[in-house]
A = this chain, B = another copy of it.
């Protein structure tokens, strides 16, 4: 059953953004080297405090004091994988929400196995990926590299299956974002094609989900608010940009300017 979120729920998104502004959660990111700067700047724009602590000596220690943890498999190395295992273990021990972004799962065996291993070691608060990645986690084959070869709609059944199997929220990014806890599904249709022409927009969305999961007990709302904030800001940024370069710059500006009332007014739940 796909249910639209009610008007009460758009207020819930505004409340979550307000909470983020107030609490400024410390978000530990174990992410890829391509998007680390961009991810930090996106987190700073919404008022979160990013910390890229991703070495095996410190990742577990830091996860015990972080408010949320992002594990992104974009460019894994032995060192960072050891750090990820340590951070996930520590997050679980401290009941800290963590988010898994299984970049290119399905397309590459080593990281697909790693994604499954991490999923099975401890339930993440949220799993975020494109349709190909989510299909791969559900047992299907993956896509070509980091880009999805499937539409989010085609992955919804797989998303629900992953959500139920691992007791998590699954967010499938695409022209319409699909976010499900296995039962309830939220659809968000904001956003702009330039989001796919800037590297790391999806990766930054995973980081935003970790930030919102740190301030919201309802993980579905956390994932939906992160998606809504990013895509509403993208709508606004695209309106005053000339191409993907200026769009990326304006997206940061718009994220920083976005208020809770503007979020609830502009989000399109379909």
Asked whether any CB of chain B lies closer than 8 Å to the CB of A50, the reply is yes
Asked whether any CB of chain B lies closer than 8 Å to the CB of A184, the reply is no
Looking at the complex, which one of B49, B75, B249 makes contact with A245 (CB distance below 8 Å)? B249
**21 interchain pairs, CB-CB under 8 A:** A33-B36, A37-B199, A41-B197, A41-B198, A45-B197, A45-B243, A49-B144, A49-B146, A49-B147, A50-B199, A51-B145, A53-B75, A53-B108, A54-B75, A61-B109, A65-B144, A78-B79, A197-B256, A245-B249, A245-B252, A248-B249
Asked whether any CB of chain B lies closer than 8 Å to the CB of A200, the reply is yes
Which residues of A50-67 have CB atoms within 8 Å of chain B's CB atoms? 50-55, 57-58, 61-62, 65-66
A187 to chain B, nearest CB (A): 26
Residues in chain B near residue A61, CB distance under 8 A: 108-109
Could you tell me if B49 and A145 are in contact, using CB atoms closer than 8 angstroms?
Answer: yes
Q: Which 10 A-B pairs have the closest CB atoms?
A: A245-B252, A243-B253, A40-B199, A51-B145, A57-B110, A245-B253, A245-B249, A34-B36, A243-B256, A44-B197
Assign chain A's interface to a size class: 35 or more
Residues in chain B near residue A257, CB distance under 8 A: 242-243
Asked whether any CB of chain B lies closer than 8 Å to the CB of A251, the reply is yes
* Alpha-carbon gap, A76 to B243, bound state (A): 32
Looking at the complex, which one of B37, B49, B75 makes contact with A55 (CB distance below 8 Å)? B75
Copies in the complex: 3
A243, closest chain B residue (CB):
B253
A76 to chain B, nearest CB (A): 6
Could you tell me if B245 and A199 are in contact, using CB atoms closer than 8 angstroms?
Answer: no
A28, closest chain B residue (CB):
B145
Q: A44-B244, A145-B49, A199-B50 are in contact. Are A58 and B108 (CB under 8 A)?
A: yes
Residues in chain B near residue A144, CB distance under 8 A: 26, 49, 65
Q: A37-B35, A104-B51, A198-B41 are in contact. Are A26 and B145 (CB under 8 A)?
A: yes
Q: A104-B51, A144-B49 are in contact. Are A41 and B256 (CB under 8 A)?
A: no
* Alpha-carbon gap, A109 to B146, bound state (A): 35
